[in-house]
Amino acid sequence: MQPIFIDQIDRLSLKRTSSISLTTLNLKQHQFILTTSQIGNNRLANTTKPKNTFHKFFKIKSWLKLFGVLSFVLPLGYFMTSNAGSLDKALFTPVHSETNASINNDLEQIIVNDTLTVATSNDSSLYFGEDGYEHGFGVDVMRGYTDKLGVTLNTIVAANDSDALNLVKTGQADVALTTAYPSNFDKISKTDTQTAQFNHIHLSCGQDYLSSHGLNQQISLQVPSSSTKLSKSANEFLCDSNVISTNQRLAEFYTQNVFDNDYSEQKFAKVMQTNLPNYKTAFQNNAKKHDLDWELLVAMGYQESQLNPLAISPTGVRGLMMLTNDTADAMGVTDRINPNQSIHGGAKYFNQIQQMFGDIPGSDRIWFALASYNMGPQAVKNIQANLNQQGKNGNSWAQVYRYMAEHRNSNRRYVQCMHYVTNIRGFLETLKLGNPNSANDSFNDNLMVKVS
């Protein structure tokens, strides 16, 4: 699902409305499909909640999901902070005691609507959204939560934490994902008492592992204080020991320390400045031919060979995209050290791999394809099969990455694969953020300024 950006909301003058249209009735499947009413000539899906008069039309599957969710929501203790100047250890902190007792079906409403709308902002710890990519530690944790609920994650991208909170207060989002937490919350809410009506739920459940990966330790979920069941449900999910283990691995994948020192970052920028211009057209043409992002191919090429067409490994793979003999033959490459042929072969092969994982959600498919490019599609599918046999989600990259991390001592290929995909993600984000205009031939000037 494509994110809705705050400027779009402003243009639409979007307001929460209770008007709905019943578009589909399927008695055979016992389900109704509810959609939001049209706002002017525009439509924003999955943000409008139905009137109570339509509650009798709820989908049966929604009630089943609701029963499953409520069965694990238990009363939780409240923990207050002892030092406002340090990282708060509160996991579930009510900062406003007033709660509308009549609003107690917040979680039920989300289950019935099949959507949790999360407002957040572009932040290295929360969300990365450029050129169709939509990922990040914070949003992926929320994706795990919506998978647990059995609903769809809908993301609205705001300019900053304050705007994200405003989207929740005005009813345009259910929750906000921010880097604000009780110790620094007043900085963005001092002039607005309404922001006090939030429960702050720490995404790491108070575990101290985010900062070691360069992520903001104070990432938190802001839930309206009236949404008591949702607050308890989210807090219990995030503090589940199994979820904590998965999120720790997810933080490892989303590390902001891909460049472990200034030299490695400056070397990357230098290669982009000196080598890339020679091959940029080949990257762009082959990406277009195979429906790929050319900067993703560049990031892959840097990880493979640092854009060196003469590169060769001890195992015999060679060329800019480091193709094996078998892969080169299959892709029609006759000269692996020819950079144009190598880029063509790599792009064609990667496109074929992506099609093998067509059942994977778009936000994760890129990571599955990269892992397969590195160690072969069958190795990845074996991991998926093992996860499915364990009752886990084999289509979740967070689960696949955790599996490799937990079995890295018994399979060294997993270690290489984890570094491979993680590094390419970091290189890709660096290219995107250092290159606001990918069609500009002088984009490397922006990149050099960033790392200087």
For 32, how many CA atoms within 13 A lie in the half-sphere containing its CB? 16
Classify residue 376 by burial, with Cβ atoms within 10 Å: 0-12, 13-18, 19+: middle
Beta-sheet strand order (sheet of 175-178)? 4-5, 152-158, 115-121, 175-178, 220-224, 198-202, 92-94
| Beta strands 220-224 and 175-178, pairing class | antiparallel
Whether the Cβ atoms of residue 111 and residue 69 lie closer than 8 Å to each other: yes
**Spatial separation of the C-alpha atoms in residues 381 and 374, rounded to whole Å:** 13
**Spatial separation of the C-alpha atoms in residues 310 and 317, rounded to whole Å:** 11
Classify residue 147 by burial, with Cβ atoms within 10 Å: 0-12, 13-18, 19+: middle
Contacts of 60 (CB under 8 A, 6+ apart): 30, 31
To the nearest 10 degrees (0 to 180), the angle between helices 60-70 and 106-113 is 140
Whether 304 is a known active-site residue: answer yes
What angle is formed at CA 233 by the lines to CA 229 and CA 235, rounded to 5 degrees?
A: 120
Catalytic residue among 265, 304, 406, 429: 304
Whether the Cβ atoms of residue 229 and residue 100 lie closer than 8 Å to each other: no
Active-site positions?
304
